Amino acid sequence: MVSGVVVRFRYALRPLMSANFLYIWHMKRVTVHESQSVTDYPNNNTIFTVWKFREGAEIKPAFEQLCALLANLNHSFIIRTLNGRSTCVMGVGYDAWTKLALPTPLPRELKPFEPIVGPKHTAVATPGDLFFHLRGTDMAACFDMITAISDVLSPAAPSPAADSSVADCLEEIHGFRYWDGRSILGFVDGTENPVGNERQFYAVVSDEDPMYRGGSYLFVQKYLHDMRAWSNLPTEEQEKVIGRYKMSDIEMPDGVKPANSHSALTGIEDENGGELKIVRDNMPFGNPAKGEVGTYFIAYASTFSTTHKMLQRMFVGDPPGNYDRILDFSKACTGSLFFAPSLDILKQYSAATT
């Protein structure tokens, strides 16, 4: 049984356990909004890809094929892989949403991501029309999924003149589970991630934007680590940067944890003091022979404003100038916002039903 579901009832509060469904109770009728697999837990292997449509390309037929392919891949790998934990999620960027003539008005907080400029570091903004998040217990599943996706967006051609590609892959990152869920920096990544039913609550749109119930705001960044500088820090100093003890993964007490530590600045609240969270699915990646290692940051949230507030605190600081010390060792090289529509919306555009 797959967990990660919050059930919001108008007249009753009773938890249900089911797979990626958001149930809205209204006058004794239940409407089902099936989300993509945004609340699945991190897997052992992941591929992240960002695609940009080519100017003048016939993108709508390709998108319709992708919507059908997405359903096919997810269903197939539930059957073909152990524990059914291989999944594919697709996100659509602001420009692509408009070009594809997807539903209007757009999701309330879907817009081009703008750079967040701090006193020392910048959360850069980079282009992207489509994003694919592929998870698998085995890399073979991820490989087959990205191959099928690439065959739609950029099929192999016998010659340049016969190229029928509609999009170019701007980035392909292969992530992997590092020991007990640690980043390459040596600390456990995602300790504060929501678990159980909280994942659906924090990751999936509900009544705040009724037209897009079951969808999720998907934000990604590629961080490269300066491992030489990081390795030169004594463990005690590394712990002050993160705000946790390295081996035990226990958070430092408030009186000990620095105000500019990562855990201090990424813990956020709303105006009433309520806790705000995102669902992270970060993965380490790297090519040690080339000296390139990092973390691919991916956040699912019911509102992008939550993720943006966290980024603001990290890069600008709270108060301004008190930025996240981890940025002195990890550089954000990309930054893109997408929206992962519910499966109900994708089905409307699927080549299998159009």
Per-residue pLDDT of the chain (354 residues; tens, 9 = 90+): 333 344 443 333 334 444 455 544 443 334 457 899 999 998 999 999 999 999 999 999 999 999 999 999 999 988 888 776 899 999 999 999 999 999 999 999 999 999 999 999 999 999 999 999 999 989 999 999 999 999 999 998 777 877 899 999 999 999 999 999 999 999 999 999 999 999 999 999 999 999 999 999 999 999 999 999 999 999 999 999 999 999 999 999 999 999 999 999 999 998 888 999 999 999 999 999 999 999 999 999 999 999 999 999 999 999 999 999 999 999 999 999 999 999 999 999 998 665
Q: List the one residue out of 183, 214, 205 whose CA is nearest residue 281.
A: 183
Q: Which pLDDT score is estimated for 22?
A: 52
Chain-centroid distance of CA 287 in Å reads 22
Measured between alpha carbons, how far is 209 from 207 in angstroms, rounded to an integer?
Answer: 5
Asked about 189 being catalytic, the answer comes back as yes
Cβ–Cβ under 8 Å, residues 305 and 205: no
Give the Cβ contact number of residue 222 at 10 Å.
Answer: 22
Chain-centroid distance of CA 195 in Å reads 16
Measured between alpha carbons, how far is 165 from 55 in angstroms, rounded to an integer?
Answer: 11
Q: Which pLDDT score is estimated for 11?
A: 31
Claim: this prediction has a pTM higher than 0.85: yes
Which residue stretches of 219-259 are H helix?
227-231, 235-242
Tokens of 257: 């944890």
- Residue 288 main-chain phi, psi, to 5 deg: -55, -35
Element of type H or E holding 343: helix 343-348
Q: How far lies 64's CA from each of 12, 57, 110, 226, in Å?
A: 38, 14, 21, 41
Measured between alpha carbons, how far is 142 from 150 in angstroms, rounded to an integer?
Answer: 12
Q: Which pLDDT score is estimated for 20?
A: 53
Catalytic residue chosen out of the listed positions 40, 144, 189, 324: 189
Measured between alpha carbons, how far is 152 from 61 in angstroms, rounded to an integer?
Answer: 10
Cβ–Cβ under 8 Å, residues 52 and 170: yes
Measured between alpha carbons, how far is 221 from 330 in angstroms, rounded to an integer?
Answer: 11
Measured between alpha carbons, how far is 167 from 171 in angstroms, rounded to an integer?
Answer: 12
Tokens of 77: 């790998």
Q: Which pLDDT score is estimated for 101?
A: 96
Cβ–Cβ under 8 Å, residues 192 and 69: no
- Residue 329 main-chain phi, psi, to 5 deg: -125, -10
> Maximum distance among all alpha carbons in the chain?
65
Residue 39 exposure: Cα atoms within 13 Å on the Cβ side: 28
Residue 278: DSSP 8-state:
-
Tokens of 62: 């390709």
Q: How far lies 326's CA from each of 179, 225, 322, in Å?
A: 21, 9, 12
Measured between alpha carbons, how far is 79 from 73 in angstroms, rounded to an integer?
Answer: 10
Q: List the one residue out of 257, 260, 276 whose CA is nearest residue 268.
A: 276
